[in-house]
Amino acid sequence: MLNADCIISADYVLPMDESLALVRNGAVVIQDTKIADIGESADILQKYRTEQHIQKTDSILLPGLINTHTHAAMVYFRGIADDLPLNEWLNKHIWPAENRWLGPEFISDAIGLACLEMLKGGITVYNDMYFFEDEAGEVTKRMGMRAVLGSGILDFPSKSGSGPDEYIANALSLIVKWKGDELIVPCIAPHALYTCGPETLKRAKAVAEKYEIPIHIHLSETEWEVREVMARYGKRPAEYLESIGFLDETVLAAHCIWMEDNEIELLAKRKVGVSHCMESNLKLASGFAPVATMINKGVKVSFGTDGAASNNDLNILSEMSTTAKVHKALSQNPTVLDAKTILLMATRWGAEVLGLGNKTGSLEKGKAADMISININKPHLTPLYDVYSHIVYAAMASDVDMVMVNGKVLVNSGRLMTADEDEILDKARMWGEKIKAADNQ
């Protein structure tokens, strides 16, 4: 028999590989942080021996969920300003709050809360766009989570930079420190076309090309943004980015709501990934992204939560269910965005648009042992006829029982193993009291 570091068995295993096959009474073999084998439990246990056999009864084992667009540290601004249009929400509330509060300690503490929330909801990878990302990297790595961390770029000053030169310097520092890390991937994140002029965008693109890192940007989130870009440059947003040589497979574009067919075709041609943020788009009344059209035209679409200040949670399972239902209603076609497609968007496609498809996103030999188990011994998950359907339409974040990243169990029986949950929550309450007290002065 072969030796294994760990074997995890479950009633159902969903590898989310090309076959989209379901393994009943399956098991996954882990060796040296990677998946060594996968198959029916009886066959695996005849072939391998291990001192650590994790048996997940009444459970579904599947790849970890991937959040491809968030501003994770904004969990500390959750509920600070709601029921407002995007421009008013940003200009009158969020940006002033950031200018007052952002700093290394704020980011470090807030990222702890964000990672706690995401991990307990089955998210094993997140793609961030924010500031002081070195602190975010330190906390995320300590908690054992995987992340693509985008250093924010703007044309105007904020707490983390005086202008493009300093933001670019911040990005370079992040790249130098984290390039090649097992869990943390550095990224550059020019905020949007209305906050970054052409020279700033070109500089960000040049950095991405030189260091072979991803680019993370907001694109066509509101009608106002499209009008603003057209007034400045005489082109629609995707056409403008194409004209300056910005679009390629390293770009992850968030939102992509107000897109015309020729722009969608541009994204498909350039292999640009898209992060669909359904619940944030709904809450800010930004509109409905043409997700079904994008997928039909060959654009790879994934899920993002956006920041918790505009969602107001970091819950990909909720995004999955809401997205499937809303787009069925919009298209008046109940077959649109079926459960298997939705789960692909949340797992393998999410990894692929972040450039991590060879490492995570599916349970396959040679990939990292990143996986979660969902406990199905629940009233709302009984009886079970279709595993894919249950995950997309019925499962909740609280059903996530175990989370593993890189072969290490981070959440066990719903409890975080790599940090003190109570300490994280105490810090969040402390910051909340401080922010409320300042607002009331």
Query: Mind listing the pLDDT tens digit for each residue in 262-291?
Result: 999 999 999 999 999 999 999 999 999 999
- Rounded mean pLDDT of the chain? 97
Specify whether 29 is located in the same domain as 148.
no
Peptide bond into 290 cis (omega under 30): no
Contacts 24+ apart (CB under 8 A), 334-341: 336/292, 337/291, 337/292, 337/295, 339/386, 339/388, 339/389, 339/391, 339/392, 339/393, 340/20, 340/388, 341/295
Query: Mind listing the pLDDT tens digit for each residue in 182-216?
Result: 999 999 999 999 999 999 999 999 999 999 999 99
Domain that holds residue 15: 2-62+369-406
| Domain contains 333 | yes
| Domain contains 418 | no
What is the rounded average pLDDT of the residues 428-435? 97
| Domain contains 427 | no
| Domain contains 420 | no
Specify whether 287 is located in the same domain as 143.
yes
Specify whether 31 is located in the same domain as 118.
no
Query: Mind listing the pLDDT tens digit for each residue in 110-144?
Result: 999 999 999 999 999 999 999 999 999 999 999 99
In sequence order, what are the residues at sequence separation of 6 or more whose Cβ sits closer than 8 angstroms to the Cβ of residue 312? 78, 79, 82, 283
In sequence order, what are the residues at sequence separation of 6 or more whose Cβ sits closer than 8 angstroms to the Cβ of residue 180? none
pLDDT of residue 15: 98
**CA–CA separation, 14 vs 175, rounded Å?**
34
**Closest listed residue to residue 38, CA positions, set 362, 361, 308, 379:** 362
pLDDT at 440 over 80: no
Angle between helices 339-346 and 316-331 (to 10 degrees): 140
CA gyration radius, the chain: 21
Q: Where is 435: in which H helix or E strand?
A: helix 421-439
Query: Mind listing the pLDDT tens digit for each residue in 14-50?
Result: 999 999 999 999 999 999 999 999 999 999 999 999 9
- Residue 93: C-alpha distances to residues 101, 223, 268 (Å): 12, 21, 36
Q: How far apart are the first and last CA of the chain?
A: 69
Q: Which of 353, 385, 419 is the last residue of a domain?
A: 353
pTM over 0.95: yes
Specify whether 228 is located in the same domain as 285.
yes
Query: Mind listing the pLDDT tens digit for each residue in 362-395?
Result: 999 999 999 999 999 999 999 999 999 999 999 9
What is the rounded average pLDDT of the residues 150-160? 95
Specify whether 137 is located in the same domain as 247.
yes
The proportion of the chain whose per-residue pLDDT surpasses 90, expressed as a percent, equals 97
* Total count of domains within the chain: 2
Query: Mind listing the pLDDT tens digit for each residue in 225-254?
Result: 999 999 999 999 999 999 999 999 999 999
Classify residue 132 by burial, with Cβ atoms within 10 Å: 0-12, 13-18, 19+: buried
The proportion of the chain whose per-residue pLDDT surpasses 70, expressed as a percent, equals 100
What is the rounded average pLDDT of the residues 80-101? 90
**Closest listed residue to residue 301, CA positions, set 355, 358, 260, 346:** 346
Q: Residue written as tokens 């570091």?
A: 5
Specify whether 278 is located in the same domain as 312.
yes
pLDDT at 441 over 70: no
DSSP codes of every residue in 109-133: HHHHHHHHHHHHTTEEEEEEEES-H
**CA–CA separation, 102 vs 105, rounded Å?**
8
pLDDT of residue 439: 78
Angle between helices 164-178 and 133-143 (to 10 degrees): 30
